[in-house]
Structure 1
Amino acid sequence: MVLCEDTECSVCLLPYSRMDRIPRVLHCRHTFCDPCLETMSQVRSGLLMVGCPLCRRVTCVGRGLSLQEALWVNSRLWEQIPEDDDAAGEEQEEDKLKQETEGETLEAKQPAVQPEW
């Protein structure tokens, strides 16, 4: 069995987030992210079912409910996820691109100085 950090899904090994990788709890009390739960779910006899990859217990979701409606969010993990996690990642990317662009502009403006030996 692969051991992973508590802040990441044990199926995909990606960190939980408040936007697209919300940690949800199965009836067996194991937690996985939304995309992995969607992938693992199956419809049988009109019921949505998810088999836990760790303990094999099956969680059944009532008719007409989605996984997001039926499964609770793991509040302990939710509180550990920074609120602006996704927004901060995007801002960091923008800042990095901005710095690279400014660096290129500064290099273009500075005359080439050759050392005198």
Structure 2
Amino acid sequence: MVLCEDTECSVCLSPFSRVDRIPRVLHCRHTFCDPCLETMSQVRSGLLTVCCPLCRRVTCIGRGLSLQEALWVNSRLWDQIPEDEDIEDQDKEEEERLKQEAEQQSMEAKQHVSQTF
């Protein structure tokens, strides 16, 4: 039994994204994010392999292929990931940066006023 939502990796419990946590499907049809698959992968007899943490079936990757080249993206989950997620994150970061700058300027103004008196 998996205690996570469909929209998050069952290993790290982080939500899938279109940039750094792309949902990829193993041969057993279980889906995990790119960073977790990279962490779980091992080289055995010259082949890159991933042992599924849910069912223990081993997925073998062809010689010379990376995980990203060999494993399909879970299109059902991909379609659920908002396309503008990254833009929203950038907007939040910019908003936070501007807020910190405003606070910094306010503190400097208060210090200037207190030094004047």
Q: TM-score range by the shorter chain?
A: 0.7 to 0.9
Identity, in percent, stands at 75
Per the alignment, in what secondary structure is the counterpart of residue 59 of structure 1?
strand
Which residue of 1 is the match for residue 90 of structure 2? 90
Q: What does residue 3 of structure 2 align with?
A: 3
Which deviates more from structure 2 when the two are superposed, residues 16-25 or residues 77-86? 77-86
1:16 alignment partner, SS class:
coil
CA deviation string 1:61-114 (max 9, x = no partner):
1101110000000001101111121232121121123134346657858x9xxx
Structure 2 counterpart SS, 1:86? helix
- CA distance in structure 1 between the partners assigned to 2:44 and 2:104 by the alignment: 58
Which whole-Å CA distance do the structure 2 matches of 1:94 and 1:24 have between them?
A: 31
2:37 is paired with a residue of what secondary structure?
A: helix
Structure 1: which 5+ residue stretches go unaligned?
A: 112-117
Q: Does 1:19 align with 2:27?
A: no
Between Structure 1 and Structure 2, which shows a larger proportion of helix residues? 2
User: Normalising by the residue count of structure 1, what TM-score does the alignment of the two structures yield?
Assistant: 0.83
Query: Structure 2: how far apart are the matches of 1:61 and 1:69?
Result: 9
- Which residue number corresponds to residue 79 of structure 1? 79
Equivalences, count: 111
How big is each residue's C-alpha offset from its partner over 1:8-66, in whole Å with a ceiling of 9 and x where there is no partner?
Answer: 10000111111110000000000000000000001111111000000000000110111
Distance 2:77 2:45 in 1: 33
**Segments of 4+ moved more than 6 angstroms:** none
For the residue of structure 1 that corresponds to 2:79, the secondary structure is: helix
TM-score computed with the length of structure 2 as normaliser: 0.83
